Amino acid sequence: MPKGVVYLVRTQVAPEREAEWDQWHRETHVPEVLSERGFRRARRLRVVEGEEDHRYWTCYDLESAEALQAYRQSPAAMRLSSQHELKFGKAADLRRSTFEVVDDLRAPVAPSEAAVVGGGVHLMLRPATAADENAVLGMLKHLFDGGAPPPGFSEEQARASFRQYLGDPESGLFVAETEGRIVSFAAATSYPTMRFGRRGHVEDLVVDPDFRVKGVGHRLLEYVERWARREGVTHLSTVVGLQREESRKFLNRKGFTDASLVLRKRWTAGAPPPF
Ligand SMILES: CC(C)(COP(=O)(O)OP(=O)(O)OC[C@H]1O[C@@H](n2cnc3c(N)ncnc32)[C@H](O)[C@@H]1OP(=O)(O)O)[C@@H](O)C(=O)NCCC(=O)NCCS
């Protein structure tokens, strides 16, 4: 996903109009701006410390500089700006600036943990970083049934998904590393449900065949579970191919019961749906 731009509007409002402005801005103005093309989200900030002469900062995230330019030249931008001017006029002073997003970095979704498994193997369990991309992608083949990628698989798409995982606050991509080698990874996500509260799903869990039956899978799964619990997840699920009887038994021993039947319809580009 492109990093985008930030459009910052700093506002100083006359104290006697501040409450009125705050409500109108939050409930009417910003939602209207956000409904315009190219906007992703807005954060409204109020200065609580520091020498700022403008007390309210509104940071709009947009897809691109072009999207911002198109908005600023649009009739909607003119209408919204003149609404502001008509309603508050000299009572509000606005300063506008645009920023290019150079990097969008997040704190790790979980702290790293050390573990020792069978054969005296020292593991570091940690969230994946961008530097793990090739190692993680290289392990996908161990998840392919019969060694062949599923229909429609593309490495480009897999790489894009890897990066999406890293940037998604509701997902976690975790690795187990020993002596600089990635020997296992797990991909998990959490999502809201109305009936059961927050649920979690482990999409992938794989251990390098050279490191199996030592407790690596068990330790990484526990690590994922601790992340899920901190996220407020109450149920964790995973899907295992019907032919993977050993993996299913492993999961059963880790407390995953055979709970439901997964029904799947799939289609791929170039093939008539349903596949
Ligand atoms: C399923 C899978 C993740 C298990 O990983 P693993 O690292 O081999 O699993 P573990 O070593 O933790 O546990 C397997 C068994 O190894 C044995 N074991 C565990 N610790 C051990 C140790 N210290 N020494 C010797 N054996 C040990 C145990 O018998 C254990 O079974 P149990 O604890 O459930 O009774 C792995 O086989 C795999 O990657 N499979 C292919 C992908 C797949 O099917 N993934 C699951 C669905 S997405």
Question: Cα(207) to centroid of ligand 1, in Å?
Answer: 8
| Shared-domain flag, residues 172 and 199 | yes
Q: Ligand 1 pocket, 206 CB below 6 A? A: yes
| Shared-domain flag, residues 93 and 118 | no
Q: Ligand 1 pocket, 223 CB below 6 A? A: no
Which tens digit of pLDDT belongs to each residue from 7-61? 999 999 999 999 999 999 999 999 999 999 999 999 999 999 998 889 999 999 9
CATH number at residue 68: 3.30.70.100
| Shared-domain flag, residues 96 and 121 | no
Higher confidence at residue 152 or residue 88?
88
* Distance, CA of 109 to CA of 230 (rounded, Å): 10
Residue 267 lies in a domain: no
Which tens digit of pLDDT belongs to each residue from 131-140? 999 999 999 9
Residue 87 lies in a domain: yes
Question: Cα(206) to centroid of ligand 1, in Å?
Answer: 9
Which tens digit of pLDDT belongs to each residue from 183-192? 999 999 999 9
Which tens digit of pLDDT belongs to each residue from 90-127? 999 999 999 999 988 888 999 999 999 999 999 999 99
Measuring from atom 16 of ligand 1, which residue has the nearest CA? 213
Structural domains in the chain (count): 2
Residue 32 lies in a domain: yes
Let me know how many helices (H) and strands (E) the chain has, helices first. Answer: 8, 10
CB atoms within 10 A of CB 98: 14
Residue 105 lies in a domain: no
CB-CB contact of 135 with 173 (8 Å)? no
| Shared-domain flag, residues 90 and 123 | no
| Shared-domain flag, residues 136 and 218 | yes
Q: What rounded mean pLDDT belongs to the chain?
A: 94
* Distance, CA of 190 to CA of 92 (rounded, Å): 42
Residue 270 lies in a domain: no
Which tens digit of pLDDT belongs to each residue from 205-220? 999 999 999 999 999 9
| Shared-domain flag, residues 96 and 120 | no
| Shared-domain flag, residues 119 and 73 | no
Question: Hey, which residues does 268 pair with through a beta bridge?
Answer: none
CB atoms within 10 A of CB 68: 20
Over 60: is that where the pLDDT of 274 sits? no
* Residue span of the structural domain in which 192 resides: 113-253
Work out the pLDDT band at 275, boundaries 50, 70, 90.
very low
Over 60: is that where the pLDDT of 273 sits? no
Higher confidence at residue 79 or residue 273?
79
Q: Ligand 1 pocket, 17 CB below 6 A? A: no
Residue 269 lies in a domain: no
CB-CB contact of 116 with 45 (8 Å)? no
pLDDT value of position 95? 96
Helix (H) or strand (E) holding 219: helix 216-230
Work out the pLDDT band at 241, boundaries 50, 70, 90.
confident
pLDDT value of position 152? 83
Which residue bears the tokens 């509007």?
9
